[in-house]
Each structure stands twice: as structure tokens, then as C-alpha cells.
Structure 1
Amino acid sequence: MLDLMPWAWALLALAAAIVGVSKTALPGASTISVAIFAAFLPARTSTGALLILLIVGDVFALLTYRRHAHWPTLLRLAPPVAAGIALGALFLAFASNAIVKPVIGVILLGMVAITLWRRRSASTDAITHTNLSATIGYGTLGGFTTMVANAGGPVMSMYLLAMRTPVKVFLGTAAWFFAIVNIIKLPILVGLGLITVPVLLLDAVLIPLVVVGALLGRWMIPRIHQALFDRIVLILTIVGAAYLLIP
């Protein structure tokens, strides 16, 4: 797996840097990293390799935004997310990513469409804490997609955007959410044989790029307005979802 062409290493390095940026500035951007890793590594192996880098990025996200999380939102999401993770682990044990990739892509595009429709409808308010069906739906899908393909970021981004969450609260809530979820996923992927010595060696080479990306994101975020932030998240979600639909 380490015997890759120089341009493949360059793209993996870019993907690692994007992981860092996604953790401190642009949630949903990590879907691009998912696509790059899946393109150059065996599909199931890419899930384990990327998880380690995501956990490194989580450390920087927590250092930056740990005080801004909205804990009631996290507690409401916990049960459906746990159910989604369990379903994803079961699915990953038996199915190939070739099957699940287009399914996730369709789900993400559907969520983008719903979010845009809600925002353009004058009669529709933001999702609130009383909207149980939305919490269950987004939470379950978020747990499932993050377990299967590390692609839960766009799902949770759509949920937090639909709630009209301010930027720093958005990033703080997402930081704690994925830090907890990714630690839960780690022993599961080890048990499935997706995190091995070659995977750890690959990650050791790429971790410095995650750090660079995280620091770049911390520089960027004070310069991004709420409306621009929302648009970037939506665009990155659409790009990532579209890639997942490619056979």
C-alpha cells in the first residue's frame, strides 16, 4: 500500500490537509478526502486509514471550539446516532463499499435538496429541538454514513444548517460530536481488520499534513461570514456526494 506513485502521494497529502481544514473551518470538506482515499486505496482499507487522520483533526477541533458546543443537541442525537453506528458496523461487516457509496451519495444529495427547499420556503422555520423526526432521521443517517465511509460530516452539516446554527456553535458541536463518534468507531474498525500496521505507517507520513490543514482552518474561520460559510458547506457536500455516485 505504501508503494504508490508520487502523484498519488501528493493527492493523499492534499486529502490529509483537507481533513485538518474540515475540522477547524469547513465541515463537510472531509468528504473530498473520503473520495481521494477511496480512489487510491482499497475501499475498506481507506475507511480505517482515514479514521486515524480524522481523530488527529478532532484534537485540533476540540482545542479550538470545545467551549462552543451545544450539548442539548448532542444529547438528543446520541440515541439515533448509536443506532446508525450499529447498523453501519453490521453493514460494513458484510457489504463492499462499491454497494454503499452510491447509496450514501443519493442520501447526501437528498439532504442538500431538503435543506435548500426549507431555506427557500417562506412558510418553513428552522428545525428546532422539538422536531423529533428530523433528529432521528439525521442522527441515524449520520451514524450509519460515518461508520461505513467516514462520510457523516455532510449529514450532520445539513442538520446543523437546517437548525440555523451560528458558525462557532456549529463547529463546537461538530467537534465534540465527531471526537466522540470517531473514538467509538476505532475499536470496531480494528476488530474488522481495517486498521493494520501498513495503515498506521501510511498515516504516520500524512499526519503532519493534517496539522498544517487544521492550523490553516483556524486562520480562515474568523474571515468567513455566516452566509459564505453556509454556501461553502453546501457546495462541498454536493461535490462529495456527486463523487460517491460515480461507479
Structure 2
Amino acid sequence: MIDLAWWEWALLALGAVVVGLSKTAVPGAGTIAVAIFAAVLPAKQSTGVLLLLLIVADLFAVTMYRRHADWRTLVRLAPAVVAGVLVGVVFLWFADDLWVKRSIGVILLAVIAITLLRRRFTSSVGAAGPHPVAAATYGTLGGFTTMVANAAGPVMSMYFLAARFEVKAFLGTAAWFFAIVNLFKVPFSVGIGIITAPGLLIDLVLVPVVVASAFFGRWLADRMSQAVFEKVVIVFTIVGAAYLLIV
């Protein structure tokens, strides 16, 4: 049964708005949605509820930016991401809600460190963005964080930003990346019980909010300069990670 107060529904609706915007205009902001859902719902259930909303937003993002993806980057990341997802599945199988919450905090602490390091050593790390070692590191961490907490946005945003993608190439590559990875996660999420019937009912209520915000995000992205876009990505990455760590 769904037993949520009005203000909890309001928070979930706000999180759904962030989901739509994060897929079509503001990468990195999705971490705030992770924090909101984890604050309102039990940790594992929040992961399952949020996953299905992310898939809905992914479909719109892929439709809007399908021609802008860098497929060589996606292929380079694939093996490490799959490995990271499988490690995350094993972790979720054994971990309880308390450990999931703690892991979210630790994961996002690592993301903050990565973000700051990338800003401190922009030239050297940026040049190494496409390197196989960088792909393996970010891919594995991205796979694990997306499986455990749907929190790979900050990790992958930093990787794509280092690759010097312009706005639509960034959004197109990220759209295909998360669409494929999130669909890959569904059978595992059902198998370990984090996608539930009550969670599906919550998703049905929130899907229209996600769709509306995704369209608004596309409108916003068309009017955002490259410089502003990169600053927004970094700011939301740090703020979202810090907020989730506190929660």
C-alpha cells in the first residue's frame, strides 16, 4: 500500500521534474532526484521507483538527441560498465537499506573528489578522458553507482565533459548510455525485489511530470551556450552529490 503524506508526494513530484530536466538539459542534476527519493522512500524501494522514471525520461532524451551520440565512446565504456553493474547487483543482493544509504553517501563522496580533481587538473585529466584506463575507471564506477543508487550521472558527466563534447553531443551520448544501461538493469532489479507493485503505482502518478519536464528541458537546451552548459553540469554535480551525502 502507498501511504505518503501530501508533502512527500510534493517532494517526489519535484524529484520527477529534476529527472526530466537532467536527461534533456542539465546532466548531473539527477543526483538531486536520487537524494529526494531516498529521503522519502526506503532506500531500496527508492532505487526501483526512480529507475523506471529514469527509463521514461531516457526514451524522450534518446528521441530528441538520437543523432548526436558518439558511439565509439559508448563501445569503449561498455565492458567496464557491465562489470560495475554486476558488482552492484551482488552488493544489493546482500545489503540492507542501512548499508545502501551508507553506500550512497560514500559513492557520492568519491564523486565529489573526482569532480574537484578534474577541475584541479583540467588539462591532464581532460586529455586523458578517452584513454582506456579512464574508460575502465569511470565505466566501472558508473556501472556500480547506477545499479546501487541510480547515481552515475555525476561520474559520467565528468567523463563526457572531459571528452570535450558540445552540448547536443554530450546529451546524445549520455542519453544512449543511460537508456541502454537502465534497461539492462531492469531484470536484475526485478530479481532482487527493488521494483515492486507499490513502486509501479507511484511511477504511474509521476510519469506525466517527467514527460512535461523533459520537453521543457529540450527547450532550455536549445537556448543554452556551451560555457553555461559546462558550468551548470559541474555545479549540479557537486551540489547534488553533497546533498545526497548529507541525506
TM-score, normalised on structure 2?
A: 0.95
Residue 118 of structure 1, CA deviation: 2.5
Distance (whole Å) between structure 2 residues aligned to residue 98 and residue 204 of structure 1? 25
Distance (whole Å) between structure 1 residues aligned to residue 132 and residue 74 of structure 2? 13
Alignment CA distance shift 1:46-1:124 (3 Å): closer
Residue 2 of structure 1, CA deviation: 2.2
Distance (whole Å) between structure 2 residues aligned to residue 215 and residue 124 of structure 1? 34
Q: Deviations over 1:176-235 (max 9, x none)?
A: 000000001011010011111111001000000000110110110011111111111111
Q: Who is 2:17 aligned against?
A: 17
Q: Answer yes or no: is 1:155 the counterpart of 2:155.
A: yes
Alignment CA distance shift 1:169-1:45 (3 Å): same
Q: Who is 2:119 aligned against?
A: 116
Residue 116 of structure 1 aligns with an amino acid whose one-letter code is: R
Q: Is the 8 A contact 1:126 1:164 kept in 2?
A: no
Q: Is the 8 A contact 1:105 1:243 kept in 2?
A: no
Question: Runs ≥4 in structure 1, deviation > 2 angstroms?
Answer: 123-129
Q: Who is 2:107 aligned against?
A: 104
Alignment size in residue pairs: 244
Residue 175 of structure 1, CA deviation: 0.5
Percent identity over the alignment is: 59
Distance (whole Å) between structure 1 residues aligned to residue 215 and residue 166 of structure 2? 21
Q: Who is 2:177 aligned against?
A: 177
Alignment CA distance shift 1:192-1:67 (3 Å): same
1:27-46 matches, within 5 Å, as 27-46=27-46
Distance (whole Å) between structure 1 residues aligned to residue 17 and residue 102 of structure 2? 28
* SS of corresponding position for 2:111: helix
* SS of corresponding position for 1:28: coil
Runs of 5+ in structure 1 lacking a partner? none
* SS of corresponding position for 2:182: helix
Distance (whole Å) between structure 1 residues aligned to residue 121 and residue 148 of structure 2? 28
Distance (whole Å) between structure 2 residues aligned to residue 84 and residue 124 of structure 1? 22
Alignment CA distance shift 1:35-1:211 (3 Å): same
